[in-house]
A and B are shown apart, each in its own frame.
Chain A
């Protein structure tokens, strides 16, 4: 009787039956996980993920450490151009925004895949939920969320105790602290996010930002931003003529005493970097009054991935409450979970509640509202425009 019930249940849940096949196919595979490799703590977390999937499902993970996610996109594209429809070098890629848009539009992704993953049941996938769009682009199951990201700034309270109320106030702050502020190159995601954060605050009609940018709307909405930036730039580090390549290099500059402000797309990053010995203990998170940009980090599987089943198993494990709780642990990574607390069981919720706290770790309530990402076309234009304006 019980066996019959199990068979009936399997028949009633075809996705789960398919999952067993996926698990069987995945056993013995090595997944080439292409992920930005600049953060040793993320690398160590992904190592742990690989150990777990290997022990539980027989799926090994080899992280391909990228210095820029675009490298993986370029590789998949080159393979497609060379006619390599299967057996590709990239199995799983940590991807976001413009890179996702490019891969989706060029048909380089496998999917929809999200609904096939058992742990997707812990996600809030109602229309309009953060995990359903990536930079205004509908996810449509083509990628799998794994961590929550929100833009924050952080300042060294020993050297620069006071911060302004909003982005507009940074001009006066920089004038009072010349050379002590900078932002990553706008070709870098965090650098562009700094500009977008200011744009959301300064644009005459922020609602327009959800639509693709046109020449007219771009000119109108960004005029105040560039006036603000022109006033700010002269007081930036190295007089605004050089910029760090990434937020990590910028954090290094703070630790080196060359500047006082760091910025991240991860509210837990300052606490995590203090814990790791890479930032002064006096760093604290600062967010502008009106809230900050937020989005969800995703992984995706290229269409020609050699180890598709293994990649699905790894993506699913990333979504498991256990992996998510470990990820949110400040001693491990300190990134906020993407799971919907309302969908978790009591035991899982207790696991999250028991995580340790740190002085530099803000409570979610201190971070203010989450502002939606503008359409990706705004970021592309901002980055190009910035390059034109700041290159001598």
Chain B
């Protein structure tokens, strides 16, 4: 293996460069018309202000809301191992499937309304606006449901770096309730660590397209959907306008990051509010609400996939297998599985190579913004430019470029999951292995990898889940030739057949769960771990 410089170069070529090229391509395209013409036309679009408002409300609202909710839930998860164990499968939930189920659940004529209406005797669905509301509030709810588990997990990881247990004991000895110690003493120390995860959450929430198509407003839609529409419009003159909007979205992202630094002190001042001696049951409230919604999502997807007909006001469908028989789910399922295995496998290889190269140079890897670039820039800002760049390079549209595009997202996540345990490896053990004559390869193969079998399995499972959930990175570089469960679920949801969409959503949900199950089945230490010390 070559030095860390070469390894970093390779990572830059595979991950950083495509993102930058894509973003640059977008910027160049937005300047294609003389005198900032594309920007002028973008500003003149009907409903731009409303688009921007829905984007900000859903994107910023979801990030702030998820952060607020993650404070009490973070404490609960920190103290409750069962809740920690339950986080992983929720994290693995693909967002398109989640949005699909939420839409079936929350629509004015959705399952909840039918259950209430069945009791209350409603002849017609209530005239309330839920799914597709003009401000993007339903979208915000969906995003919060998606992002809270991620932020809770990041909170736990940050809490492991401070002496939280000792501080909790000390605070409780002073008469504070656990919630009070957490909010006043422990959590404020974690905030600096949470900035990067927050930026990832914000970038995702601002640029999500599949969830916005299923839950968000359509007239006008959020910026991400508007950009997608304009990029794929029949009139090529719309593409610079779409690029200008994408640059606007990047600016919104940048502005939000900057203003977060201004909001942060205020946020910290908010935390000490509330009682000192006892805890309000907010964590339980959010936990039950979230669990109820998630259970409803899974149940309603299951029911729709087994429905023959399910018109208003029936609370239960007539059962039938039309959903499973009517669509070809096997090909997209196999494609999704194959892409997931390849994208997570490559991501894992790359992450291990990068970490190992840093070890050999004796320079700990700093996971900074550059490595996480694909997660920090809104996807819709660089993927269209990247698709064009692939064409210019002569790379044919299809599974290979989709795999590359997916790697942009599976790699950073695999790296995040693996880097902590990797760097926490007992250095003394590695040094003694080396002093006993083990070369770096032997040390990697016989000490590090066996010791890290579980984190490696976890990183692979996370990479797989990220791959299964991809939408834009399949749709745009795939030229429609690559059909996954995610793209099918969204495409079918825009058609008349919910049953078929539900089948795709269910399968999309099932695949990452299987991967997590496989990762959990991995013994804590692989049996290959050497027992005789003179071995290495």
Contacts and interface: CB of A to CB of B under 8 A. Distances in A.
Contacts of A74: 231-234, 236
Given A71-B480, A242-B217, A245-B494, A277 B320 contact: yes
A222 interface: no
A40 B495 contact: yes
24 contacts: A37-B495, A40-B327, A40-B492, A44-B326, A64-B479, A67-B491, A70-B232, A74-B232, A74-B234, A84-B391, A87-B396, A185-B219, A187-B229, A242-B218, A244-B218, A252-B498, A257-B125, A276-B497, A277-B307, A277-B308, A277-B318, A277-B320, A278-B496, A280-B311
Contacts of A34: 480
Interface stretch (B127-135, B247-255, B456-464): B127-135
A275 B322 CA distance: 11
Chain A CB within 10 Å, residue with most, of B134, B229, B481: B481
B275 to A, nearest CB: 43
Given A71-B232, A89-B397, A242-B134, A43 B129 contact: no
A134 to B, nearest CB: 14
Interface in B379-400: 387-388, 391-392, 396-398
B500 interface: yes
B480 A39 contact: no
Interface stretch (A9-17, A75-83, A290-298, A322-330): A75-83
A37 B497 CA distance: 11
A90 to B, nearest CB: 8
Interface in A344-392: 387-388, 390-392
Contacts of A82: 388, 391-392
A78 B388 contact: yes
Contacts of A185: 218-219
A111 interface: no
B59 interface: no
Contacts of A40: 326-327, 492, 495, 497, 500
A54 interface: no
Contacts of A255: 310-312
A84 B391 CA distance: 9
Contacts of B232: 68, 70-71, 74
B134 A241 contact: yes
B479 A75 contact: yes
Interface string B307-347: 11111110000101010001110000000000000000000
B481 A248 contact: no
Main secondary structure of the interface of A (DSSP, over half): mixed
A99 interface: yes
B313 A257 contact: yes
A341 interface: no
Given A64-B480, A74-B236, 9 more contacts: A65-B491, A66-B480, A87-B396, A102-B234, A241-B134, A277-B308, A391-B47, A392-B47, A392-B134
Interface of B: 46-47, 50, 107-109, 124-125, 127, 129, 132, 134, 217-220, 229, 231-236, 307-313, 318, 320, 322, 326-328, 387-388, 391-392, 396-398, 479-481, 483, 488, 490-492, 494-500
Contact of A79 (B50, B220, B391): B391
Contacts of A224: none
Q: Which 9 A/B pairs are nearest by Cβ-Cβ distance?
A: A257-B312, A38-B495, A391-B47, A256-B109, A248-B496, A277-B309, A391-B46, A64-B480, A70-B234
A128 B236 CA distance: 32
Interface string A83-112: 010010100000000110010000000000
B157 to A, nearest CB: 38
A179 B109 CA distance: 14
A50 to B, nearest CB: 11
Given A65-B483, A82-B392, A387-B46, A278 B236 contact: no
Nearest to A36: B495
Q: Which of B218, B327, B388, B498 has the most CB of A within 10 A?
A: B218
A241 to B, nearest CB: 7
Contact of A72 (B233, B396, B480, B490): B480
A390 B497 contact: no
Contacts of B322: 276-277
Nearest to B131: A242
A243 B218 contact: yes
A258 interface: yes
Contacts of B234: 69-70, 73-74, 98-99, 102
Give the one of A62, A179, A280, A391 with max B CB within 10 A. A391
A273 B322 CA distance: 13
B219 A242 contact: yes
A62 B391 contact: no
A32 B481 CA distance: 8
B125 A256 contact: yes
Contacts of B328: 47
Contact of B495 (A39, A81, A99, A242): A39
With a 10 A CB-CB cut-off, give which of B125, B235, B491, B497 has the most chain A CB atoms: B497
A243 B219 contact: yes
Contacts of B481: 32, 62, 64, 89
Contacts of B132: 242
Contacts of A241: 134, 219
A7 interface: no
A154 to B, nearest CB: 13
Contacts of B219: 185, 241-243, 390-391
A194 to B, nearest CB: 15
Given A68-B232, A245-B218, A257-B313, A38 B388 contact: no
B254 to A, nearest CB: 27
A187 to B, nearest CB: 8
Contact of B496 (A38, A70, A243, A258): A38
Nearest to A99: B234
A43 B488 CA distance: 12
A280 to B, nearest CB: 5
A286 B235 CA distance: 34
A253 B107 CA distance: 10
A278 B496 CA distance: 7
A283 to B, nearest CB: 10
A235 interface: no
